[in-house]
C-alpha cells in the first residue's frame, strides 16, 4: 500500500525525515524560508518549494501531487511556535505567526487527509496557545477525532529534555484506531556524553570539520572565554565570580541557565536557535571552553551526523533550533502505518467471514432445492 505525505512548514526536515524513515512517500513540502527549503531538498526530498502557508491553497497542493481530495494519507507540519513560546516576552497577543494555525486547519479541510499531525511547543496547550487550540478543534472537530499529547522528547531517545505538544487528527469515517506511540526511553534517557562521544573537536581556525558538516567554532569574546572556565557541568551564571557577572544578574533570580554548561551524564535542555552562544542558555560544551557547534546541536536534536544544513550560520541555527527531532516523526509515522495495516487486516477478515458464510448459505439453499426436486 502507498503511504503519502504532504508537509507544511517543513523547515529543515526533522519531522519529514522521520516520516520518510517510517515508510511515507513525501509527495510535497513547503516552507517560507529558502535556506530551510534547500536543506530539506538536499536531505529529505526534492519535492519542496518556497511558499507561504497563508497564500497556498489545497487545490494547488492536490494539483502538484496528482491526488484527489481525501486520498492523502497524512498532512503534517508545525506552524511557527515562537508566538506561543514561554521565551517570548509580552504574551501571546499581537504575533501574526499564531494565525498560521488557522491556515493549517484550512489546508486540512481542503485536502481532507486520512490523518493530520501538528507539532508545537508545550505552551500551545496552556494559556498562551489554548485559544488557537480551541479554534483548531472547532474548525476540524466535526470531521476528525482529535487527540492532544504532551511529550518529553527524551522519553523517545532524543538526548534532550524537549517538551512538545503533538496533535493527531484521525478522519472519523475511517474506523481507524490510532494508538499514540509509547515512550521507548522513559526508564533511561540518552545523555549528552553518549550522543557526542564520537564527535571530534572542531578545527581551531573556525572552518568546518572536513568529515562533519556544520561543525565549526562560534566566535566568543575574551571575557566570555574567561567566564566559561568558571562554570562546571550542569551549572550556569550563579557560579561566575561577582566581577564577571552582569549587573542584572547580580539582582535577578531568574533564568539561571544562561552562561550555562551542559552535563555529560544528562540530556541537554531544550535546544533553541541561540545555542551557539552560551550567554543565552545552557549551551556550553561539557568539557571544552566553548559553545556547542551547529553539528553538535543537530545531534542533540537527533539528526544524523552527516545531515547537512544550508544557509548562513544564523539561518542554520534557526533551522536546527526550530526542528522536530526526526525520531518523533519516525515513531508517529510507524504508529499511523500500523493502525492502517490493522484496519485493513480487520476489514479483510470480516470480508472473508462474510464470503465464507455466504457460500455456506448458498450451498444449503442448493441442497434444499435438489431435495425438493427429487421428492417431486
Q: What are the catalytic residues?
A: 81
Give residue for cell 552527516: 306
Residues whose CB falls within 8 Å of the CB of residue 253, separated by 6 or more in sequence, listed in order: none
Checking 197-200 for CB contacts under 8 A at 24+ apart, the result is 199/295, 199/296, 199/299, 199/305
Nearest to 15 by CA among 1, 29, 34: 29
* β-pair partners for 374: none
CB 342 within 8 Å of CB 179: no
Pairing of strands 48-50, 25-31: parallel
Burial 99-136 (b: 16+ CB within 10 A, else e): ebbebbbbbbebbbbbbbbbbbbbbbbeebbeebbeeb
Give residue for cell 545523555: 191
- As a whole number of angstroms, the longest Cα–Cα distance in the chain is 115
- Distance from C-alpha of 161 to C-alpha of 124, rounded to nearest angstrom: 17
- Distance from C-alpha of 31 to C-alpha of 78, rounded to nearest angstrom: 11
- Distance from C-alpha of 279 to C-alpha of 259, rounded to nearest angstrom: 4
Nearest to 152 by CA among 126, 175, 108, 185: 185
Helices (H), the chain: 14-22, 34-43, 58-65, 100-111, 127-140, 192-196, 222-229, 247-251, 294-300, 313-322, 326-375
Enclosing H/E stretch for 75 = strand 74-77
Grid cell locating 263: 552535563
Amino acid at each position: 500500500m502507498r503511504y503519502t505525505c504532504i508537509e507544511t512548514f517543513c523547515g529543515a526536515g526533522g519531522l519529514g525525515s522521520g516520516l520518510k524513515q517510517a515508510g511515507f512517500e513525501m509527495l510535497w513540502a513547503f516552507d517560507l524560508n529558502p535556506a530551510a527549503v534547500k536543506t530539506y531538498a538536499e536531505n529529505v526530498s526534492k519535492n519542496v518549494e518556497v511558499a507561504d502557508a497563508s497564500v497556498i491553497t489545497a487545490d494547488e497542493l492536490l494539483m502538484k501531487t496528482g491526488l484527489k481530495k481525501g486520498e492523502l494519507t497524512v498532512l503534517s507540519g508545525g506552524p511557527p511556535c515562537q508566538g506561543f513560546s514561554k521565551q517570548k516576552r509580552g504574551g501571546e497577543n499581537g504575533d501574526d505567526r499564531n494565525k498560521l494555525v488557522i491556515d493549517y486547519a484550512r489546508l486540512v479541510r481542503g485536502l481532507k487527509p486520512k490523518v493530520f499531525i501538528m507539532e508545537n511547543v508545550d505552551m500551545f496547550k496552556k494559556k498562551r496557545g489554548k485559544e488557537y487550540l480551541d479554534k483548531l478543534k472547532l474548525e476540524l472537530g466535526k470531521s476528525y477525532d482529535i487527540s492532544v499529547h504532551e511529550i518529553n522528547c527524551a522519553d523517545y531517545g532524543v538526548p534532550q529534555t524537549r517538551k512538545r505538544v503533538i496533535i493527531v487528527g484521525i478522519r472519523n469515517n475511517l474506523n481507524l484506531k490510532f494508538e499514540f506511540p509509547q515512550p521507548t526511553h522513559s526508564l533511561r534517557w540518552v545523555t549528552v556524553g553518549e550522543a557526542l562521544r564520537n564527535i571530534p573537536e572542531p578545527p581551531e581556525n573556525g572552518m568546518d570539520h572536513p568529515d562533519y558538516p556544520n561543525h565549526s567554532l562560534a566566535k566568543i569574546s575574551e571575557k566570555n572565554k574567561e567566564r566559561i572556565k568558571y562554570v562546571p557541568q550542569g551549572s550556569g551564571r550563579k557560579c561566575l565570580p561577582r566581577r564577571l557577572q552582569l549587573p542584572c544578574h547580580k539582582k535577578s533570580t531568574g533564568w539561571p541557565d544562561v552562561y550555562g554548561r551542559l552535563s555529560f551524564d544528562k540530556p541537554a535542555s531544550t535546544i533553541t536557535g541561540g545555542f551557539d552562544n552560551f550567554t543565552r542558555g545552557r549551551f556550553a560544551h561539557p568539557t571544552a571552553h566553548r559553545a556547542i557547534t551547529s553539528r553538535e546541536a543537530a545531534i542533540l536534536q537527533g539528526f544524523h551526523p552527516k545531515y547537512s544544513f544550508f544557509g548562513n550560520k544564523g539561518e542554520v541555527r534557526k533551522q536546527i533550533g526550530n526542528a522536530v527531532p526526526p525520531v518523533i516523526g519516525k515513531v508517529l509515522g510507524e504508529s499511523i502505518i500500523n493502525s492502517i495495516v490493522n484496519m485493513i487486516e480487520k476489514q479483510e477478515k470480516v470480508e472473508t467471514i462474510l464470503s465464507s458464510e455466504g457460500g455456506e448459505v448458498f450451498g444449503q439453499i442448493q441442497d434444499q432445492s435438489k431435495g425438493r426436486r427429487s421428492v417431486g
